[in-house]
Amino acid sequence: MSVVVIVGAQWGDEGKGKIVDVLTEKADAVARYQGGHNAGHTVVINNEKFVLHIIPSGILHKGKACIIGNGVVVEPKSLIEEMDGLTKRGIDVGENLFLSKSSHLIMPYHAAIEREQERLKGSKKIGTTGKGIGPAYVDKTARTGIRAGELLYPEIFKEKLKNNLEGINHLLKALYNATAFDVDEIYGEYMRYTERLSGYIADTDVIANKMIDENKNLLFEGAQGTLLDVDHGTYPYVTSSSAAAGGACTGLGVSPTKISSVVGIVKAYTTRVGEGPFPTEIKDSLGEKIREKGGEYGATTGRPRRCGWLDMVALRYAARVNGFSGIVLTKLDILDGIGKIKICTAYKHEGRLYEEFPKELNILEKCEPVYEEVSGWKENTAGLKSFEKLPSAAQAYIKKIENMLNVKVHIISSGQKRDELIILKEVF
């Protein structure tokens, strides 16, 4: 039995979807532990691209249990659309999908509030997707949220909805001069969703722990990445949930003592979407070249990702916070043809050298990266399936990452397709 947590080691978009898809072959269940439909996992199977937003990537494999945990916030309409989209493409979404009774629902007013908040912030906006993720987590913490299990009790659902809208409608009109919401309209809409989703709502913590007791292999996946974690990320330019490994336990109701290993997904360079500090960002034509070659556009929003060199200061921090057992290195092939590659080893700020990741936003925003330059390679690495076949400079780059991070690389992804992998050590 193994319980493996897959964690994004940077600002998300590291390629977790493909890796989860591959590892699902040896897993009995895949569980999503945080985030909402603002995330997007891209998987390519036989040249066919699948973009998943909230359903675990394991759904692309027959017979695998797929769990949406209590740490996830769920917008029912989006979930149903994703289910229908998969069904139309021949993917079975049946008895193998489970939605936690304790997952909080994203309501229409959450998206409205988020859009208005961002609008008022102007140049100081966070850069959210406007899908209501943050306000849904706010309500969860404020103990006014509505949970998926309450869809099964229409009277309770309507009473909570009515109570919430009394304050929210006042806020929308008085502060934002925005349109108010109608109780009966939302109630009718969500009861229609209930007809579709009621059979999937379950005690997912019981299901997950029972499978662990039966010595099954479980794979836990998060959305976003460590540097977007609400506690450990570049606050306030973060997501609203615990994207780091610790979030897997609270987001699924599984004890830390049950976790076998934590695998960090590391892109061979660094990207981030939206606002916030990014010390190693490349702001010239090379950054644009990497973006185009790597297809660095949001799977959910289409927003262009900012691209930069590999940041070892941030990665060492992520390794410490998560306790990586090993890492998966993705998108190595995007660096093909770059003559010199830079690795950030430290930051400088006002004459001081920082080898540890600063918590202060005012420092991080003004840090200058200290680079070590290494040789690039001209050869094509895309699709290679053996470490020995990689160019010597690419091998040296990988070994340098291992030495600087003090964590071994278990898998190298050499392309988008499911089979474009170099397996150095089995995760399960």
Residues marked as catalytic: 13, 41
CA distances from 339 to 240, 246, 393, 400, 414 (A): 39, 39, 10, 17, 19
- List beta partners, residue 354: 347
- DSSP per-residue string spanning 318-357: HHHHHT-SEEEEE-GGGGTT-SEEEEEEEEEETTEEE-S-
Distance CA 361, CA 219 (A): 33
Say if residue 338 is exposed, middle or buried (CB neighbours under 10 Å; 0-12, 13-18, 19+): middle
Is the Cα dihedral 358, 241, 25, 293 positive or negative? negative
Distance CA 236, CA 124 (A): 11
- DSSP per-residue string spanning 33-76: -SB-TT--EEEEETTEEEEESSS-GGGGSTT-EEEE-TTBEE-H
Distance CA 414, CA 420 (A): 5
The distance from CA 134 to its chain's CA centroid, rounded to whole angstroms, is 15
Distance CA 221, CA 283 (A): 32
Q: Quote the Cα angle for 390-395-397, to 5°.
A: 130
Cβ count near 415 (within 10 Å): 20
**Nearest C-alpha neighbor of 219 from the set 9, 8, 428:** 428
